[in-house]
Amino acid sequence: MLITCFEGLVETLHPYNFIAKEAIKEMLTSPGASEKVIPILPRLIAPLRTALGHADVTVFENALATLKYIVSDIR
């Protein structure tokens, strides 16, 4: 489900972009998330990279916020 939400980061229409962003936030900030995220991290890189390179500023900001959750979770 996390991979699908990462792919949804490039959505520009509401509520799809909101749902993707909030679902990722909930999943990455939940207790014990790091043990579950680390094995699938290679599959999350491509959609995150696509979102970071998107022309829409909101998509870029959502991807940046997601990256922040990943980094803070893995530490």
* pTM of the entire predicted model: 0.87
Domain count of the fold of the chain: 1
pLDDT tens across 40-55, in order?
A: 999 999 999 999 999 9
CB 5 within 8 A of CB 62: no
Burial of 30 (0-12, 13-18, 19+ CB in 10 A): exposed
Residue span of the structural domain in which 38 resides: 2-74
Orientation angle between helical segments 16-29 and 57-74, nearest 10 degrees: 10
pLDDT of residue 75 exceeding 60, the answer is: no
- How far from 72 is each of 12, 15, 28, 35, CA to CA, in Å? 26, 26, 9, 13
Name the average pLDDT for the chain: 92
